[in-house]
A and B are shown apart, each in its own frame.
Chain A
Amino acid sequence: MNAFDDTLHRVLARYHGRAIPVRTSSQLSPDPDVTIGIATIKIVTEEQIQAIAFGELDQEPQVIVRLDPIGRDVQDLEPFAAFLGDTVVRAAAVDSALRLWVPHSVTLEALDVLGHRYWRNQTAPASIVRMGEICRIIAHEAIIPGQQLVADAAALLQDHVVTGLAPLEEGHLGAILAWLDPTVSDPVAEARERIRLPASGVLPNTPDCHWDDTIDRLRKEMKGAHGARRHLLEDQIAHILRRAVLREWNLLIEGRRAFLDLGLPSSLSGLVKDSNQRVRDALDNGFFPARSPKRLVEQLNVMEAGQEKSELAALEADAMLRDQAARAGGVVRGEVSTVRQNKPGFKPCDIEVSSDQGIIRFRLDDKVRIVGTNVAGVVRGLATAPGGGTRVCIEITSGVRTRNVLTAGARVELIREPYAFINYRSLGEAHTQQPWAFYSDSAPVLPSRPSSGQSALAIARAMRR
């Protein structure tokens, strides 16, 4: 959404005192059979998780509180490791996709750091190493556009509604929820009051809720304490951490419920299949971060393909997004003015679409499709219409039997086809040849030879043959 539209939505939200939806379709597929949630509390800067709540979303979560999160002993993480391992096995057994709900991106970062710490730790138990690997797989998949594994409640709400707050304030999940709760009469004041306490997977540390300082003090005292005194201190630490992580968990549950209550349909089967395949491959074969040029390019291509597919899937399913895209020329709306089809229902078939839009983003030979149909084609001509607007000539390549839109006078919306091709063969060849520009720190030293007396153009011509 552009800045102008975003601002006007904020004005409207402030006027009505409620969040305004900005999508008519969801960018997240429905939850699969195996869906779990994780909420964490980390130590600021240390990035060590000191409490985790995890489990199925319709049940009370399991909670782990870590009395000494900086220590090397990771036994306390075993229940979490077992849960993650069991979840993965369960999903594979029932051939289900996986879905992980987190309250916000900080939880994902905490899991990624946890993964970095243990996925190759040779002194950790196998279950903890596997936990680290699964965490890395989750965090890696989360960076691929259009992925369907991780559902970040705060990000999803930010992408689907606009509130009367500043965008920066919408980073606080509790603040957005105030705008989605009909019982809140003054969401501006309520949201800003909620922002006083962080919703970012850390302990609050305000004058009226100084949990972080308290935990720090209790841990120091615990080091020198014994017996009953030590147990008392441990209980106090556990009590604070439990409350804090359950607060995060409850935010997650409320955020998910608020998102599902938007009731947005989704049509993302292609993205679900891609995401599920990537995750399944990594879980079965292990996580291998891209380091070599070939792997890095492959990964960038995968991300680019995901971006392209998810954007086009969203455009196809979402009338609001198409409205915005039409203003920028990304969607062309018009009327079929001419149909050239010698034999109805057969190729060759060309159509002309007349649009009022003066600016469109299509270029010659772009592959396009008609929204809501199986008709696709290639742009073969673009011309400015005499009274303004644009005429687009399209060679229909599929769906030539779809009579209702391949008829003069039919209203159509055109969007680009996603271009999501990863040329693995070329990348493989490049890898075999190991060009120095990618695989070496310096250019090869070529022996100097006397000049052949030929021009550079002649040499190039000879090489081409």
Chain B
Amino acid sequence: MSVKGTTALVRLASNPGCEILGAMILEPGSEKRFYERVVGEPYDREFGERQSSKRRGAQFEQNAYAGDARLLREAFASHLGLAPDDVVVRNLLDDFPGTKDDARIARLSITRTLLKDAREGKPAPHIIIQPQLMLPTKPGPKPYFFVAPDLLILSPQNDVYLPGDLKSFVVRENELSKGDLARVRLQLGAQLLALMHEYDRFDKTAIIPASGMLVFSKPNGLAPHAPRIEDVAGGVEAIRIGIAAFLRHRQRVNDLRAGAEPYTVVADLQPHFQDSCLNTCVMAQWCRQRVAEAAGDLGDVAGRVLGDMELSRAFGLMTGDIEPADDHERLIARHLVDLAEQHSIERAA
């Protein structure tokens, strides 16, 4: 995964306790390069988005935006309470294509104008494609995060926009797994928070509903499902916590590095390894070595049940070589002894 833009915010929200993640976000260049500079060895696992995912994502978007976004107009028409032909769309990539900062800033400027126009009752598109938003974290290094939803959709109830994201992966019956849903809700949360910030710049009375919209792909070809409206109040709060954590990590990294590159101070930072790191972070194996002999190596749940207990201590409690130090350890020891007996009997049988 990337450590830039919305993805960085989503990852911070998922693991706000990890200072290593804070350093990775501050470090220019890729996450893989960060790993290689810290560990001194090439990264030997899969890294980055697969070609097929990139290609499908691009095709799905291209298909949705084709013909003045015909598929999007059809998909959102009932939500907007309009006929598809009456839905007005503006694609900012037509004005300023590309991912360079100059193009992003130009799109940000147009987005701000359109948000304001809609709020003031001037003519504004119902759907803005590829808008640009920004979340400031200044002053300090990395003073802002660029946040780029795929869409902004004008809410029919009031004159504010809501973020929307196109997801090219195939879902059946417009339902997706809890894990995937949690991740995309965080993504919408980051987009909504950035949007709230943009409104706050010029109109502190604007009330933005804590909702976002998702459009997934049907199993057949590139056709989109009907949009799903998601409540993302929890996601917004998680992103706020993630940003607060980032500000703390940034301060700590800056205090330690004294002008050097962030990766140089990693050994002095506190990792916060959790199971999900194995699927999302290149540093997972490195961080895991720090808990290799502890209960946390058996997973998050074991870490919560046994706390900081070393595995060797748990083994000692089981064999009787170590005396329990308190009631909690006594309980663990008793159950481990019972369990060991039960399984040795079964083995003998």
Binding site for B on A (CB under 8 A): 3-12, 14-16, 20-21, 43-47, 112-113, 116-117, 164-169, 196, 198, 204-208, 212-213, 216, 289
Smallest CB–CB gap between B175 and chain A, Å?
11
* Set of chain B residues within 8 Å of A21, measured between Cβ atoms: 343, 346
* Set of chain A residues within 8 Å of B170, measured between Cβ atoms: 45-47, 113
Report whether over half of chain B's contact residues are helix, strand or loop; otherwise say mixed: helix
* Set of chain B residues within 8 Å of A207, measured between Cβ atoms: 42-45
CA distance A216 to B51 in the complex (A): 7
29 A-B residue pairs with CB within 8 Å: A4-B305, A7-B295, A7-B301, A8-B332, A8-B336, A8-B339, A11-B306, A11-B314, A11-B336, A12-B336, A14-B311, A15-B340, A21-B343, A44-B50, A44-B53, A45-B169, A46-B56, A116-B172, A117-B219, A166-B300, A167-B301, A196-B44, A196-B45, A205-B46, A205-B50, A206-B45, A212-B51, A213-B51, A216-B52
Q: Which of B53, B169, B276, B302 contacts A7 (CB 8 A)?
A: B302
Q: Please name 17 further chain A to chain B contacts, defined as beta carbons within 8 Å, in addition to the given A7-B301, A212-B52, sorted by A numbering.
A: A4-B335, A5-B335, A6-B302, A8-B335, A8-B339, A10-B298, A12-B336, A12-B339, A12-B340, A21-B343, A44-B53, A45-B56, A116-B172, A166-B300, A205-B46, A206-B44, A213-B51
A207-B43, A207-B44, A208-B44 as given contacts; A11 in contact with B311, CB under 8 Å = yes
Find out whether the CB atom of A43 lies under 8 angstroms from the CB atom of B315.
no
* Set of chain A residues within 8 Å of B276, measured between Cβ atoms: 168
- Interface membership of chain B positions 38-66, coded 1 if the CB is closer than 8 angstroms to chain A and 0 otherwise: 00001111100011110011000000000
Binding site for A on B (CB under 8 A): 42-46, 50-53, 56-57, 168-170, 172-173, 219-220, 275-276, 278-279, 295, 297-302, 304-306, 311, 314-315, 318, 332, 335-336, 339-340, 343, 346
Nearest chain-A residue to B44 (Cβ)? A207
Find out whether the CB atom of A12 lies under 8 angstroms from the CB atom of B318.
yes
A117-B219, A166-B299 as given contacts; A212 in contact with B278, CB under 8 Å = no
CA distance A207 to B295 in the complex (A): 31
Q: Which of B46, B51, B173 contacts A204 (CB 8 A)?
A: B46
A8-B339, A112-B172, A113-B170 as given contacts; A47 in contact with B219, CB under 8 Å = yes
Find out whether the CB atom of A10 lies under 8 angstroms from the CB atom of B340.
no
CA distance A17 to B9 in the complex (A): 39
Find out whether the CB atom of A168 lies under 8 angstroms from the CB atom of B335.
no
CA distance A116 to B175 in the complex (A): 14
Smallest CB–CB gap between A156 and chain B, Å?
19
Q: Which of A9, A117, A289 contacts B220 (CB 8 A)?
A: A117
Find out whether the CB atom of B52 lies under 8 angstroms from the CB atom of A10.
no
